[in-house]
Structure 1
């Protein structure tokens, strides 16, 4: 079992008065749980702004990450804890674009989980739009893949490129179409995403939607002049992929 401290337990569970008492008794606000994070990290993860504020006032380091390279800011962003994010960003925001070991930044994980308010705050503080995780995915790509149209719209408005592709050459449009996320697909097309872009297998967004029976998305892509007769690397066309379902 991981070694923990009373301060970490109190910070995680949101016991403000207990945190204050422990700090008065000179508990170390920077002592990390074995193999995990600091009291501030756990307060950020759980979304306790008053505790985060008190820990910072008592000397907690906002830039102390867990062993996976995830900062308190990253932890707050992942769960959409906007008030905690504001507190940490006001500390200086040094880790605004700091990635975890996976390459995912605070904006990336907020976008992936659909936390619109957190995404808007991070964009307001000028978080980078073009960061990529280890698979080459951007915040826009994961928002499109997860089906969060409001987040996709916010990222596009902030200047995210709909034409970026991951290590498999899949664009955000590929990912949205494959998931049958019609609203995201429409937003990307409106932002001039290439309708017949091909991934490493030569597949277009229409092919991915067709082979997964995403009927509404197929109709949308066809209405935007996607080519139903274009063939992938295996020789299959969208119309044939649809018929095989």
Structure 2
């Protein structure tokens, strides 16, 4: 965007650099290192040469100054922008490689976040804490997984990063990789012995997340590595339930072929068949019925799959259930029958099928 560039004559360069040093000294660290000129390699070289001509005591003082707003050091800012010579200058002058900003972000964390593999390697050589988390409990490994930086993930794992370390809410690297569909990261984590059945605070497992994301390749990979197929959330939602609810037929078929419990209920007694009937997922209903799902299994209040199909006016599902001998007289705990709810909702076509 050259139309907004101001070109300074050479006699003003020294004045400009002095102003940057002044800003730095008073704690405007982000202002200095986010200066648009810092994006220009030749300017950075000139800036570094200017720094090296300063008194050594001042250089060391500058290296340790933190931003007055966010507590960023020059090292943290340079790691974010991948300014290697300036990073080496900071380290030479004794900056603490583990010093964090007000959000708990360390130089290693931000280097991994931005995918700067060589910087991560350099910082680890300088004894950076590989598991140092930000204020939300996010580790460098978790962030690298989230950003899909495979080389950074491999480097961290090769250096014994805590593979199962969780952030607030219990999110851990394998769960994050499944959530964002990063198959290569998932493979890498599994190869490095990540706990495949580890769960978030709500009992959400990697397999459940992969099913929610409709990623058959990841689901297959997890099951091959002995993921617990019937593991449920704290609400009792199973992987099969989620796939049926979301109408992911390939995932449903794959889970059933892998011996998922076809009648596993939620805490409220809702079966995979029930939710498929409620959501009008006719192809899923057909697959479940072909695999001998319990057609008359009811929720805690006695609602059957046939009842909910009548309630939702899902006529093709009503027909499919009746073809498989669903109990047309099965009532809820309050005495309401499928015929009653069809009358109440004025679902004429459903009534015709029920009375036929």
**TM-score normalised by structure 2 residue count:** 0.64
Q: Which residue of 1 aligns with 2:333?
A: 233
- How many angstroms does 1:21 deviate by? 4.5
Q: Give the conservation status (yes or no) of the 8 Å contact 1:29–1:60.
A: yes
Q: Which residue of 2 aligns with 1:102?
A: 202
Task: Trace 1:210-221 onto structure 2 (pairs within 5 A).
Answer: 210-221=310-321
Deviations 1:15-50 (A, max 9, x none): 445444544554322111112310111122233322
Query: Aligned-pair RMSD on alpha carbons?
Result: 2.0
- How many angstroms does 1:209 deviate by? 2.3
1-structure distance, mates of 2:115, 2:164: 21
Q: Which residue of 2 aligns with 1:151?
A: 251
Q: Identify which of 29, 47, 52 aligns with 2:148.
A: 47
Q: Which residue of 2 aligns with 1:86?
A: 187
Q: Give the conservation status (yes or no) of the 8 Å contact 2:120–2:152.
A: yes
Q: Which moved more, 1:161-170 or 1:211-220?
A: 211-220
Q: Which has the higher helix share?
A: 2
Q: Identify which of 145, 150, 160 aligns with 2:260.
A: 160
Task: Trace 1:59-138 onto structure 2 (pairs within 5 A).
Answer: 59-93=160-194, 95-138=195-238
Q: Identify which of 130, 134, 137 aligns with 1:36.
A: 137
Deviations 1:190-219 (A, max 9, x none): 111011111111111122222223333333
- Aligned pairs, number: 244
Task: Trace 1:187-206 onto structure 2 (pairs within 5 A).
Answer: 187-206=287-306
- How many angstroms does 1:153 deviate by? 1.1
1-structure distance, mates of 2:307, 2:287: 19
Secondary structure of residue in 1 paired with 2:231? coil
Q: Which moved more, 1:191-200 or 1:50-59?
A: 50-59
Secondary structure of residue in 2 paired with 1:9? helix
Q: Give the conservation status (yes or no) of the 8 Å contact 2:174–2:189.
A: yes
Q: Give the conservation status (yes or no) of the 8 Å contact 1:113–1:146.
A: no
Deviations 1:127-155 (A, max 9, x none): 11121211122211122122211111111
Change (3 A) 1:10 1:179: farther
- How many angstroms does 1:2 deviate by? 3.3
Q: Give the conservation status (yes or no) of the 8 Å contact 1:79–1:115.
A: no
The unaligned stretches of length 5 or more in structure 2 are 1-101, 347-356
Moved over 6 A (4+): none
The unaligned stretches of length 5 or more in structure 1 are none
Q: Which residue of 1 aligns with 2:242?
A: 142
1-structure distance, mates of 2:314, 2:148: 37
Q: Which moved more, 1:231-240 or 1:66-75?
A: 231-240
